[in-house]
Every structure is written in C-alpha cells, then in structure tokens.
Amino acid sequence: MAQISPSILSADFARLAAEADAVTGADWLHVDVMDGHFVPNLTLGAPVVEALSKATDIPVDCHLMIEEPDRWAPQYVDAGAGSVTFHAEAAAAPVRLAREIKALGARASMALKPATPVELYEDLLPELDMLLVMTVEPGFGGQAFLDIMLPKIRRARRLMDKHGLQMWLQVDGGVSASTIEQCAEAGADVFVAGSSVYGTDDPAAAVRGLRQQAEEAARRAAGGDGNSAAS
C-alpha cells in the first residue's frame, strides 16, 4: 500500500500543530532537518520535532540533512520520531547508526543524493527499514522533479527484491499528481509531498488523491502493464 508523507517544509512554520491537523489521514509527517552545513538551508531541530510529535497522532518521519548524523540522530528518536533518515554521504558508520536507531525504537532509513549510486550500498540494505532516493538535490523545497532518477528507483527496487527485503522505498522531491505515478511504477511505495499537499486548499484531500494515484499505478505495474517496476 502506498504511504504519503506530507513535508512540513512547505507548511506554515508559525502554526505547525494546525498544519499537522490539516493532513488527517497521512501516513507520516515528514520533517526536514537541515543544519546549514550539509545543505545550505537551515530549518528546525530536535526541540521542535519533540513539540510536534506531542501535538499530532501522525508519526513523524525525520529526514536529517545534517553533518555528523552518527552524533545527532539518536536525539531525534528521543524527541519522538518514529522514523529517522540519515544521509549515506554524511554518516561515518551507517550500519552502526542504523542499528542504534532501531535499538532505540524507531525505523532506520538511509538517504541517497541524486549523484550517489545505490549499488555502492547494496550490502547495507538488510540493515535498513527504508531507503530514500532523493529526486531533487537536498536542501530546498519546491524544486522540479528529476525524472533521470526513475532508473535509479527501479535499480533500488530490484536490489531489494534480489535480497528478499521487506523494506520501504521512499522518494522525496518534486512529488506531485504529475510525477507520483511514474515513481510508483518504478517501485517506490513511500512518497514525500510538500507543495503538492500544503499548496492546495484541502491538504487532506490532496493526500487521499496522491495515495490513490500511487496505488493504481503500482497495480498497473504489478499486473504486467509494461511491468515498469521490474524493467
């Protein structure tokens, strides 16, 4: 089943609790944590994640675009995140970090920038609950979807299937009504959506619409209509 994770990077930071309520029915609430070093932008940190996690029943999915995630990631589990994603390009010991995140009670995820090949991390995949393939360069919301990432999504799904892994494949960046079906057909099943949710008059309806599109596209692919996810 497709999961939709609205990104509060596109929400009104002055009223985050209300913005969380606006996406009732979402599977996750995606929180982008940026430190101004790993990426040029600067956003919020663990105290805001803690406050937000107490203000909503939607589980929080933290995407750490920061240096030294080995040092800081456990704090986000303590702050209430149900899933914590670190970047492969920033982690010093990704296997140890993934195991620590899981030992603390959260799902462990690893993100790859667009230029980072998934094949480099094939042996690490069994340690993860989710892999995030960035479909824009990390750091800013509102960027256009990079369709050249679709083959990478397919390769990631093939590697997961090769090892029989029951893990999630997330995409983040430019996901909208015009791109989500391509991502689902390629094998993604968790979708981060920012402006395509919070830029609408009815964010909850946008979540439902995106989920329906993704699930229908996944069914078409599984049914052999081009078998997009395996090609």
Active site includes 61?
no
**Among residues 32, 35, 129, 189, which one is catalytic?**
32
**Spatial CA neighbour of 125 closest among 173, 164, 89:** 164
Output the six-digit token pair for 101: 């995140």
Contact 97, 126 (CB under 8 A): no
| Helix, strand, coil share of the chain (percent; to 5) | 45, 20, 35
Determine which one of 27, 35, 172, 189 is catalytic.
172
Amino acid at 103: A
Can you tell me the distance from the alpha carbon of 170 to that of 183, in angstroms, rounded to the nearest whole number?
9
**Cβ pair 30, 192 in contact under 8 A:** yes
| Whether 172 is catalytic | yes
For residues 216 and 222, what is the distance between their CA atoms, to the nearest angstrom?
A: 10
Strands of the sheet containing 60-65, edge to edge, are 3-6, 190-193, 168-172, 130-134, 107-112, 83-87, 60-65, 29-34
* Residues involved in catalysis: 32, 172
